[in-house]
Chains A and B, each alone.
Chain A
Amino acid sequence: MPADNAVPPIVEMRGITIRFPGVLALDNVDFFLRPGEVHALMGENGAGKSTLIKALTGVYAINSGTITVGGEPVVFSATADAQAAGISTVYQEVNLCGNLSVGENVMLGHEPRSALGIDWKATHAEAARHLAALGIELDTRSELATHSIAIQQLVAIARAMVLDSKVLILDEPTSSLDRDEVELLFKVVRDVKSRGVAVLFVSHFLDQVYEISDRITVLRNGKLVGEFPIAELPREELVTKMIGRELDELTAISKSADRKIDRSSTPVIKATGIGRRGILEPADIDVYDGEIVGLAGLLGSGRTELVRLLYGADRADEGHVEVNGEPVKFTNPRHAIERRIAFSSEDRRAEGIIADLTVEENITLGIQARQGWLRRIRKAERDAVVAEYMEALGVRPADPSMIAGNLSGGNQQKVLLARWLATAPELIILDEPTRGIDVGAKADIQRKVAELSAQGLSVIFISSELEEVLRLAQRVVVMRDRRRIGEVDPHTTDLDGLVEFIATSGEGNAA
């Protein structure tokens, strides 16, 4: 065991058990966090990561077990207790006040005072000092909401430093950050760590976990699998420990990418010079029967913009689109749906799931919207469709009357996929269908996509995980800086080649 085991942990959680009605969310779990380490907490959705974090931050009361912070036993009955004990949390959705200034957010509740009340000049100076200590330069008087999510997270970290936190919890902080922003965040995290703060890091991105963490704790089904120094746990082993079975499944899917596509026929969709001023430079894309076309590029490269124009979610102001050889003009998603084109947005919560409706209402929404409000889908037909797709995609729990918002991210994604597959599309556009979901659900979705395309469904597949794109697609269109920079053949290009292409090549034109 490494020498730093000699350092006493700042947080000791022993024998933590949390029971919800009908579910044992955490079963006798031990977890230790040491000063000056970045500790990754890994597990599939539903493994108990969030529950453990919520126990540590005072959101949930524990049924049994003990928590000590800095050697003192503690009982948290509210989040304020945890904060007072020096535990700060930075969420994916930043919990700061967007309408206040950066400086006010950093110093909130700790503003320097003078005889006349809050000394704003000193407050902003103090805030700037805290930010500068993390290597961030910002106008502290600017409104927080005007900054990117990445900057807002850094502000949240600066605020944690003002609170003199000993423990910093980063819960999926990188989900919506691009590569440069992640680098900036990690620089700050390393800096915080060097000051002896213990950092608890939760992420679905394995690359990032291996880049930043010193130690990994793995949970599965509410039970502790083990705690490992990062060097002693190779990636494949981590994944195996997380899902509890050998992960040959993902590699098995790759064979489908070798399928030959007949490109002599009329393409299902063919767009020429489609674009919109300030959003996307004119780009071409075409998809043939049964083909999966991958769209690769960084966040903000124009991937999402391109497919939104194709679908009519946003209006294109130039270009020409043909569906099965017929010219079309989509100014509304309904026009695309009539042509049997489906689009699943990257923002599951804001643009996908209808959280307060049930799973079956969500699944049948696409069919119902196409039929119009007057012809309600018959109960027998609805039950059959819902049962078929919940079974085919493995939605858990298998309860059609469950409120969709209560499902895990992976299962919500399956419900959305079911909604679109139920409309029997010819082309389905999937924008980040596997983001932020667990490995098992990811494999399920990839397998389903490969299977359906083999049966003739055409797919446009967008993902930030380039391995996934290379594995599934028969062709990969690469975007950068809001324009198409070229096309890559996944059979002759490996991951490094694709990364290099995204980063450097394609100075010429799309053709």
Chain B
Amino acid sequence: MNTVIGAVVRHRLFWPIVALVGLIAINGVAQPRFLNISVRDGQMYGALITILRESAPLMLVALGMTIVIATRGIDLSVGAIMAVSGAVALTIIDNSPAPGSLGTVATAVVTAILVSLVLGVWNGFLVSVLGIQPIIATLVLMLAGRGVALLITGGFITTVTSAPYKWIATGYVLLLPVAFLIAMAAVAIVAVLERRTALGVLTEAVGINPEASRLAGVRSRGIVFGAYILSGVLAGVAGIIVAGNTMAADANAAGMFIELYAILAVVLGGTSLMGGKFSIAGTVVGVFVVQTLEITIIFLGIPPAQSPVFLAIAVIVVVLIQSPSVHRWARRVRDSWRSDTPAGEETKAEVAS
């Protein structure tokens, strides 16, 4: 029995899930209606469903970020790629004589994804062919990308009306939000791509030891290149969804700081920034933790002016809950409390000294 509990506690997803369940519980206690889920007109409603829907862009971006981080890289340009992707999609719809037609929306979506792919290729080229450090290489596009988006929208916030396009971000299928289903489909595709083929283990090999992998005949350059392309494409899809939420392409605001939230979600999910071993399931949990935190701020009615402070404190608490050295410290404190014998006192004294 103890060994079963031990195995559960040692599982690398245990603490991320504890953090997630804890956050939901706090909300549920503060306002029981947080846990309510109702069905109306073939749609599920409730705070938890909102979390699922709103988490889609971050899920897509964090998914790509996970693979990039596994190769020892980082992709800071995802927010800017989202802005470009949204601008491309909405500008095409805006300039079309039939903004509501399925054909127009399909053209807009495909073009936006292709442009994002090209931006991913650009990042991949800088990192894997030219050998520029990932943080610098993707910083280029992070700064320049929003300029490109502004150029596409002509400096305005492009707003359009297109029912099929709006459906991507706010529609429902089988009671569930379309955006969430898109994100889950992406998770499934990437998981199959990485784990049912040898891509995952080769990616980890390159991330752990690039030179040893090269000498073993692994196509390191191609694997790193591919990771940035994947990240670009997923950010592009995220950009399409974000633009669909408001039906406006805001080059300055779309995907702002999302790269940082994505990195946070990846790390909370147990993937090390040092590269190598990665966990897609961990990232999914990490994204839900981050998204639940954001919703919590709104739900508990914290004034906007104070919300960054609350978020900061909450992040610190979540990170501490997952920290191995905090676990060790907690175990020592617990052990010394358990025994009231002089021996226990001694242990305490040792810890203190």
- Shortest CB–CB separation between residue A141 and chain B, in angstroms? 29
**Which single member of A354, A370, A372 contacts B205 (CB below 8 Å)?**
A354
In the complex, A76 has a CB within 8 A of chain B: no
B202 near A369 with CB under 8 A, answer yes
In the complex, B201 has a CB within 8 A of chain A: yes
With contact pairs A343-B215, A376-B197 given, residues A368 and B276 touching in the complex (Cβ less than 8 Å): no
In the complex, B209 has a CB within 8 A of chain A: yes
Total contacting residues, chain A, CB less than 8 A = 30
Q: Which residues of A contact B218 (CB under 8 A)?
A: 365, 369
Q: 8 Å CB contacts to A: which residues of B212-252?
A: 212-219, 223
Q: In whole angstroms, what is the CA distance A351 to B214 when docked?
A: 9
Q: Which residues of A contact B202 (CB under 8 A)?
A: 368-369, 373
Chain A residue nearest in CB terms to B198 = A376
In the complex, B335 has a CB within 8 A of chain A: no
Chain A residue nearest in CB terms to B223 = A373
Q: In whole angstroms, what is the CA distance A467 to B201 when docked?
A: 40
Q: Which residues of A contact B10 (CB under 8 A)?
A: none
Q: 8 Å CB contacts to B: which residues of A354-384?
A: 354-357, 361, 365-366, 368-377
With contact pairs A368-B201, A369-B202 given, residues A356 and B276 touching in the complex (Cβ less than 8 Å): yes
In the complex, B204 has a CB within 8 A of chain A: yes
Q: 8 Å CB contacts to B: which residues of A101-126?
A: none
**Which single member of A77, A355, A366, A373 contacts B208 (CB below 8 Å)?**
A355
Q: Which residues of B contact A352 (CB under 8 A)?
A: 212, 215
B212 near A354 with CB under 8 A, answer yes
Q: In whole angstroms, what is the CA distance A372 to B209 when docked?
A: 18
In the complex, B102 has a CB within 8 A of chain A: no
Q: 8 Å CB contacts to B: which residues of A289-303?
A: none
In the complex, B166 has a CB within 8 A of chain A: no
Q: Which residues of B contact A373 (CB under 8 A)?
A: 197-199, 202, 219, 223
Interface string of A308-336 (1 = CB under 8 A from B): 00010100000000000000000001100
Q: Which residues of A contact B199 (CB under 8 A)?
A: 373-374
A334 near B217 with CB under 8 A, answer yes
Q: 8 Å CB contacts to B: which residues of A169-183?
A: none
In the complex, A350 has a CB within 8 A of chain B: yes
In the complex, B346 has a CB within 8 A of chain A: no
Query: Max chain A CB contacts within 10 Å: which of B205, B211, B215, B219?
Result: B215
Interface string of B134-160 (1 = CB under 8 A from A): 000000000000000000000000000
In the complex, A56 has a CB within 8 A of chain B: no
- Shortest CB–CB separation between residue A431 and chain B, in angstroms? 11
B219 near A355 with CB under 8 A, answer no
Q: Which residues of B contact A353 (CB under 8 A)?
A: 209, 212
Chain A residue nearest in CB terms to B204 = A357
Q: In whole angstroms, what is the CA distance A372 to B201 when docked?
A: 12
In the complex, B196 has a CB within 8 A of chain A: yes
In the complex, B277 has a CB within 8 A of chain A: yes
Query: Max chain A CB contacts within 10 Å: which of B198, B201, B219?
Result: B198
B208 near A333 with CB under 8 A, answer no
A356 near B212 with CB under 8 A, answer no
With contact pairs A333-B217, A365-B218 given, residues A351 and B208 touching in the complex (Cβ less than 8 Å): no
**Which single member of B201, B208, B216, B350 contacts A419 (CB below 8 Å)?**
B216
A333 near B198 with CB under 8 A, answer no
- Shortest CB–CB separation between residue A264 and chain B, in angstroms? 32
Chain A residue nearest in CB terms to B214 = A333
In the complex, A337 has a CB within 8 A of chain B: yes
Chain B residue nearest in CB terms to A337 = B217
**Which single member of B196, B198, B205, B215 contacts A345 (CB below 8 Å)?**
B215
With contact pairs A373-B197, A375-B198, A377-B198 given, residues A356 and B215 touching in the complex (Cβ less than 8 Å): no
- Shortest CB–CB separation between residue A364 and chain B, in angstroms? 9
With contact pairs A354-B208, A355-B208, A356-B208 given, residues A366 and B217 touching in the complex (Cβ less than 8 Å): yes
A356 near B277 with CB under 8 A, answer yes
Query: Max chain A CB contacts within 10 Å: which of B201, B205, B209, B212?
Result: B212
Q: Which residues of B contact A313 (CB under 8 A)?
A: 214-215
With contact pairs A356-B204, A357-B201 given, residues A333 and B215 touching in the complex (Cβ less than 8 Å): yes
Q: In whole angstroms, what is the CA distance A373 to B204 when docked?
A: 12
- Shortest CB–CB separation between residue A114 and chain B, in angstroms? 34
- Shortest CB–CB separation between residue B38 and chain A, in angstroms? 45
Q: Which residues of B contact A351 (CB under 8 A)?
A: 209, 211-212, 215
Q: Which residues of A contact B223 (CB under 8 A)?
A: 373
- Shortest CB–CB separation between residue A377 and chain B, in angstroms? 7
Query: Max chain B CB contacts within 10 Å: which of A353, A354, A376?
Result: A354
Q: In whole angstroms, what is the CA distance A360 to B183 when docked?
A: 33
Q: In whole angstroms, what is the CA distance A273 to B25 when docked?
A: 73
- Shortest CB–CB separation between residue A44 and chain B, in angstroms? 25
- Shortest CB–CB separation between residue A410 and chain B, in angstroms? 18
- Shortest CB–CB separation between residue A193 and chain B, in angstroms? 36
Given A354-B208, A365-B216, 16 additional A-B pairs, CB 8 A? A77-B350, A311-B215, A337-B217, A350-B209, A351-B209, A351-B211, A353-B212, A356-B208, A365-B205, A369-B202, A372-B198, A372-B219, A373-B197, A374-B198, A375-B197, A377-B198
Q: 8 closest pairs, A vs B, by CB?
A: A369-B217, A376-B198, A337-B217, A373-B199, A369-B218, A373-B198, A356-B208, A334-B217
Residues of chain B at the chain A interface (Cβ within 8 Å) = 196-199, 201-202, 204-205, 208-209, 211-219, 223, 276-277, 350
Residues of chain A at the chain B interface (Cβ within 8 Å) = 77, 311, 313, 333-334, 337, 343, 345, 350-357, 361, 365-366, 368-377, 419
Jot down 12 A-B pairs with beta carbons below 8 A, ordered by A: A311-B215, A333-B217, A337-B217, A350-B211, A354-B204, A354-B205, A365-B218, A369-B202, A372-B198, A372-B219, A373-B197, A376-B197
